[in-house]
Structures are given as structure tokens and as C-alpha cells.
Structure 1
Amino acid sequence: MKKLILFFLLLLFFCWESFAQDFEADGQIKILPYEPMQVRDIEGLTKDIKLFHKRIEQMLPFLNKRKKIIDNEYFQFVPALENFNFPVRDRYLIDKKFYLRVSGGQSALKLDGVRFITRKSLVTKLRPIDDQIGELKNESVSNSDPATIVLTVKKKTDAGTKEEVYSLSNIRNPDQRVKFVRSYRDNLAEVIQAIDKYVEGTIRADAKDVDTMLDGLDSGGSFQEYNSNR
């Protein structure tokens, strides 16, 4: 019996030691260091982010010329889509938006910030409230440092609203930190793709307008003098 008690005491001691190693002296959760491969992943993602920020900034004059930048912001959205969560068959509405915060004049437009907002809302009747909003943002894109990327998660339930804020400084797992930066990079790529589609659509619409006008001029009859006395 004594051996069994001693065994449990030793197990409790080692568990406590392991648990204590997860925290700093001030109570903060210890952040696990990167492995060499993860360091290279972060470096590669940072280069992509810097390139994508620059590419988006190059598109700003076009958007401004088309009067799409309003109150120093440009945004696009994905219409709300209904999603089923099998096998429970709960129905959710999911929508997504992105915002670009801009500064400067026509000849010197700058990209100051980027926000991606995703909302998932339970719409099944007679079910508890379940509303989740995720905001992935970077309010200082000038140096393209992943450390400035922040994820805010708000969860609204019958018990109230809970909010958590995550960044590279408080995400413990290095794999998850890499995933965090990669998600921001991938969303920037979607922004570029979305604006490219708008540019292509605008070019096609302009070309159609020109063709329509030229076809009308080419197919018209002979000009005649207008007699105002009739």
C-alpha cells in the first residue's frame, strides 16, 4: 500500500514539474522555440508577404481612379454561404470580407493596413446562440514583419461574449505559428487574385463599350443636314 502511495506521489511530483515548465515566472505561457526548418518557413513566408504587400500597393492607383477607395478604405466580400455541419446537420451562415486601409494622394498611395474578417453564425432554429467572428489583421504593413499580425476571435453564446487575441508572441506551438503566418500570406494572395479579376472585368467592359460605339458608327447611314424650319 505504501509503495502504491509513493508511486502516486512521485507521479504527481513529475506531473507538477512538467506543468511548471509550461509557464514563465510571471505566469506567462512559455513559447516553444522554432526548429531550423520552421525558421526557414517563416523567412520564406515573410518574403512572400513583403512581395504581396508591394503588389497590392501597386494596384491602389487603379482602384482609386475607379473611385473604389472610399474613406481611405477598399473592401470586397464573399456573400454569405450556408454550411451544414454533418452529422448533426446544424446550419451555419459563413461570410468573409477583406479591407485595405490606404493613405496618401493619387501619386503616392500607400497600403497601411489589411484586415480579413470571417463570421460563422448558427442559424438552426431552436438552438443555442453560436456566433463566431475571426479578424486577422495587420495594421502596420510597412515593414512586412509577421510579428505585427494579430488574430482576434470573438465567440458569442448564451453565456455571453468571449474574446481572445493571438499573435506570434503568445502562440505556444511553433507549427501553429508557422500556420498562422501562412494563413495571412495565403489570404493576401486571394486579395491579389480578387483585384486582378476586377481589373480583367473592367478591361473587358471597357473594350465592349468601345466596340459597341465603333460598330454603331460603322453601320450608320449617310449624314444629313438638319432643317430646323420644318
Structure 2
Amino acid sequence: MKKLHIIFLLLFLIGWELSAQDFEKDGQIKILPYEPTQVRDIEGLIKDIKDFHKRIEDMLPFLNKRKKIIDNEYFQFVPAMENFNFPIRDRYLVDKKFYLKVSVGDGSLKLDGVRFITRKSLVTKLRPINDEIGELKNDRVANSDPAGIVLIVKRKTDAGTKEEVYSLGNIRSPNQRVKFVRSYRDNLAEVIQAIDKYVEGTIRADSKDVDTMLDGLESGGSFQEYNSNR
């Protein structure tokens, strides 16, 4: 029995020695380096992000002309949708929105920041509180540096609210860091698509207004002089 106990102790110590290598001297978890293919992935994503930031910025004058930028922000949202978590059949409400922070510099509109907020709330009756809010944001859009991208996750339960903040500086796995930056890139693409739809809808509405007015002018009767003495 004593020999077996020593074996378990040695296995534990060996396991601890290996896990201890995953920590820096100050107690921080070591961040694993990128593989060459992952470096190329990040470089490609940064290029896309720069292009998407520029495309969004080019749309700002149109949004401002339509008075859609209020208090230096423009936002759109997806209405809350009910979602089921099979096989438990818990019912959740899920909604999503994005905010663009805008400023005026050198007489032109600048894109300063981007925020994506998702909320998932458990609404099944007689169940504990379970709300989760995720905020993916970048307050340093100007340099398109992915190091400025931050994910804030807030979880609210009966035990209270817990908040975690993630960035490229504290995500250990390089695969997950690539996924992190890709998620931001993909959300920017959704912003561009959403604004494009608004622009297309506006063009169609304007065209319809013009057609309606021209049809009315063409189908009207003869003009008559107004007699105010009647």
C-alpha cells in the first residue's frame, strides 16, 4: 500500500512539474506562440479588417446626411428571438446589436470605435437566473491593430455577476486567438452588409417617391385660376 501511495505521489509531482511550465514567474499563464500558418492567418485577417474599417468609414457621410448618427453613434439591432436549448428545452431570448463610434476630424467623419453586443437570457419559468452578455469591441480602430480588440463576458446568476475580459494578450491558445480576430472580422462584414441593405432600401424608397410624384403630375387635370371671391 505504501509503495502504491509513493507511485501516486510521484505521478502527481511529475504532473505538477509539467503544468508549472505553463506559468510565468509572475504567475501569469504562458501564451503559446503562433505557428507560421497562424501568423499568415492573422496577417490576412488584419488586411481584411483594415479594408472593412475603411469601407465602413466611407459610408458614414451617407448615414450622417440621413441623420442616423446620433450623439456621435450609429447603431442597428437584431430584435430578440426565442431560442431553445435541446434536449433540455430551456427557453432563451437572444438579441444582438452593433454600435459605431464616430468623430469629426479635418472636416471629415472618422470611425473611432466598434462594439458588438449579444445578450442571451434564460426565460424558462421556475429556473435560476442565467443571463450572459458578450461585448466584442475595438476602441482603437484608427490603427486596425488586433491587439486593441477586447471581449468582455458578463454572466449573471443567482450567485451574482461575474465579468471576464479577454484579448490577444491573455488568450493562451493561438488557434483561439486566430478565431478571436476572425470573429471580429466577420462581424465587421455583417456591419457592411447591414448598412448596404439600408442604403438599397433608401434608394428604392426615394425612387418610389419620385415615381409617385411624377405620376401625379402627369395624370392631373387642367390647371384653373383660383377665384378668391367665391
TM-score by length of 2: 0.97
Structure 2 CA distance for aligned equivalents of residues 229 and 110 of structure 1: 59
Structure 2 CA distance for aligned equivalents of residues 127 and 118 of structure 1: 21
Q: How many angstroms does 1:2 deviate by?
A: 5.5
The aligned counterpart of 1:201 is 201
The aligned counterpart of 2:18 is 18
**SS at 2:143 equivalent:** coil
**SS at 1:99 equivalent:** strand
The aligned counterpart of 1:148 is 148
Q: Which runs of 5+ in 2 are unaligned?
A: none
CA distances 1:91-140 after superposition (whole Å, capped 9, x unpaired) = 00000000000000694000000000000000001000000000000001
- The amino acid of 1:157's aligned partner reads T
The aligned counterpart of 2:62 is 62
Retained in 2: the 8 A contact 1:122–1:129?
A: yes
Q: How many angstroms does 1:9 deviate by?
A: 2.9
Retained in 2: the 8 A contact 1:94–1:118?
A: yes
- The amino acid of 1:212's aligned partner reads T
Aligned length: 230
Q: How many angstroms does 1:229 deviate by?
A: 1.7
Q: How many angstroms does 1:16 deviate by?
A: 0.8
The aligned counterpart of 1:74 is 74
CA distances 1:147-189 after superposition (whole Å, capped 9, x unpaired) = 0000000000000000000000000000000000000000000
The aligned counterpart of 1:87 is 87
CA distances 1:16-57 after superposition (whole Å, capped 9, x unpaired) = 111101110000011011011111000000000000000000
**SS at 1:217 equivalent:** helix
Retained in 2: the 8 A contact 1:61–1:106?
A: no
The aligned counterpart of 1:215 is 215
Identical positions, percent? 85
The RMSD of aligned alpha carbons is 1.2
Structure 2 CA distance for aligned equivalents of residues 113 and 52 of structure 1: 13
The aligned counterpart of 2:224 is 224
Q: How many angstroms does 1:12 deviate by?
A: 1.4
The aligned counterpart of 1:191 is 191
**SS at 1:142 equivalent:** helix
Which stretch has the larger CA shift, 17-26 or 197-206?
Answer: 17-26
Q: After TM superposition, list the pairs within 5 Å mapping 1:105-116 onto structure 2.
A: 107-116=107-116
The aligned counterpart of 2:53 is 53
The aligned counterpart of 2:134 is 134
Q: How many angstroms does 1:224 deviate by?
A: 1.2
Structure 1 CA distance for aligned equivalents of residues 80 and 17 of structure 2: 48
Retained in 2: the 8 A contact 1:61–1:107?
A: no
Structure 2 CA distance for aligned equivalents of residues 211 and 219 of structure 1: 12
The aligned counterpart of 1:102 is 102
The aligned counterpart of 1:175 is 175
The aligned counterpart of 2:124 is 124
Structure 1 CA distance for aligned equivalents of residues 106 and 133 of structure 2: 34
**SS at 1:104 equivalent:** strand
